[in-house]
Amino acid sequence: MLICLFGLLFFSCGSDDGNGPAEVWRLTAIYSHQTNTLEQGPDLSFQEVLYFSPNGTFIKRRFVGAERFEARGRYTKEVRDGDGLQVYRVEYEQDSPIVFNCFGGFSESFAVKSPGLVQSDGIPCDGPEYRYEPDGINPE
């Protein structure tokens, strides 16, 4: 009886381990407020994919031609003061040339603008806004 109870407890608790599929977003457009230009699809100079895993880990991958760059870290979901948008706040393990942050450091924010759009925003430093849409690929 004790073994059955232990087994039931183990399996019921073990099923919620936070290791489900990642939430995946692919860069689809870059908009520049300075020049009022939009690059999208095949016109993008690089490809980029974001992976938000249920266990709080994050991977950002950028592909430029045959080169691949990667940055890893952890994220939290928050509601932004002022406009109430849901935001992913990422803290990277180390600095990387693909971290997009106007203020320096190892962090980056991604705002959920709608169920089908996540945006990384460079407007505070006159940079572009990166627009991501859901993608169903596996990070590994």
Q: Which tens digit of pLDDT belongs to each residue from 99-130?
A: 888 777 789 999 998 888 999 877 677 788 99
pTM above 0.85, yes or no: no
Mean pLDDT in residue range 4-29: 57
Q: What is the pLDDT of residue 18?
A: 55
Domains of the chain: 20-134 (2.40.128.280)
State the burial class of residue 61 (Cβ atoms within 10 Å of its Cβ: 0-12, 13-18, 19+). middle
Q: What is the pLDDT of residue 16?
A: 35
Residue type at position 48: E
Residues 45-92 pLDDT 10s? 999 999 999 999 999 999 999 999 999 999 999 998 888 889 999 999
